[in-house]
Structure 1
Amino acid sequence: MDYRRLFEEKNRLTYDAGDEERQAAMEQGIRRAVEGQENPQPRIHDMMKKSFVACSEADKTLTLAYEVEEWELNAGGTMHGGMIAAAMDTTCGMTARYLSGSLNAATVSMTVSYLRPVPAGERLLVTAKAVRIGRSLANLTAEAVNSKNGKTAALATAVFRIRK
């Protein structure tokens, strides 16, 4: 089976459609990606328990929720910083990919500032916002919020290489 072709067909956005159709296509593609249907072999972002919350093509945002599971904890019993970064990277990458219409968005750089710990069993809401989508690079910001107390746990800025 040609997984690349299948992936391309499932995730192609129609950019000459109206705004509502584009929004619906973006949301549908992101939901498929979040549910792990796009990759036949599990990757770290597939292992993380995440769910779709919201997206807006007009605002250039995507919000995903990540459940903090036992295997994601550090020695202190809170979500490992690398897992927080992975959640932010995944959310930013999906945002860059869908807004650019690219099938490939690779992280060039990402800076994360950790502000508060996120305990096990809680839910991390990650919102990515595209600042600029260029021909080959996308600049984004992300905020990770503990849904239990509404406090920001981490902030990030990221640059992605996009290939069309």
Structure 2
Amino acid sequence: MIKYTKEFLANAKKQGIEDVIISKFPNCVDVMEPTFVQYMSDELFEIRFPVLEWYLNPFNAMQGGFISAAFDNAYGLLNKMATRKEAVSLDLNTNYHKPIYKNDTLTVKVYMKHKGNTIVNMYAEAFNNDSQLIATSDSKMMIMK
């Protein structure tokens, strides 16, 4: 289930993206139980994901594929809010810097590098509750026409 901070909802109304956030999101977003935190028009999207037990690898850290999935979901959502169109990932690169463990929260901040007519370039950083850098990523998406 997707959650929203009060600040996010107030800002969404000001920026005219209410229709985007009330639309049905793909199951891959819902299943990660995100909280939408912040959106700055065409610039930044911040989203939090709880580190759930079923994300854990044998070392009790969030498995890298789930961290990449969090990035991928955040990229898709920023694109949707910025362009009002669906897009597909052309690539997704992730660098892991530090593990994140159960009961922590992965905060992903996605930044729009360039928004063209067809291709969108973005990069992102993920942090734990102590504001330690967990992973970084970049991605290109193709806007569907």
TM alignment of 1:1-164, pairs within 5 A: 23-26=14-17, 28-29=18-19, 31-32=21-22, 38-39=24-25, 43-57=27-41, 60-102=43-85, 104-147=86-129, 149-164=130-145
1:145, 1:153 within 8 Å by CA — same for their partners in 2? yes
CA shift digits 1:115-157 (9 cap, x unpaired): 000000000100111101111110000100102x111100001
Aligned length: 135
Taking every aligned residue pair, what percent have the same amino acid on both sides? 24
SS in 1 for 2:69: helix
What is the Cα deviation at residue 24 of structure 1? 3.1
Q: Equivalents in 1 of 2:14, 2:138: separation in Å?
A: 24
Gaps of 5+ in 1: 1-19
What is the Cα deviation at residue 30 of structure 1? 5.3
2:47, 2:74 within 8 Å by CA — same for their partners in 1? yes
Cα separation, partners in 2 of 1:108 and 1:77, compared to 1, 3 Å: same
Q: Equivalents in 1 of 2:20, 2:100: separation in Å?
A: 25
Q: If you compute each CA radius of gyration, which structure gives the higher value, 1 or 2?
A: 1
Compute the TM-score of the two structures, normalised by the length of structure 2. 0.85
Compute the TM-score of the two structures, normalised by the length of structure 1. 0.76
What is the Cα deviation at residue 22 of structure 1? 7.5
Q: Which amino acid aligns with 2:133?
A: T
Cα separation, partners in 2 of 1:21 and 1:152, compared to 1, 3 Å: closer
Q: Which amino acid aligns with 1:55?
A: Y
Taking only aligned residues, the RMSD between alpha carbons, in angstroms, comes to 1.9
Gaps of 5+ in 2: 1-10
1:31, 1:52 within 8 Å by CA — same for their partners in 2? no
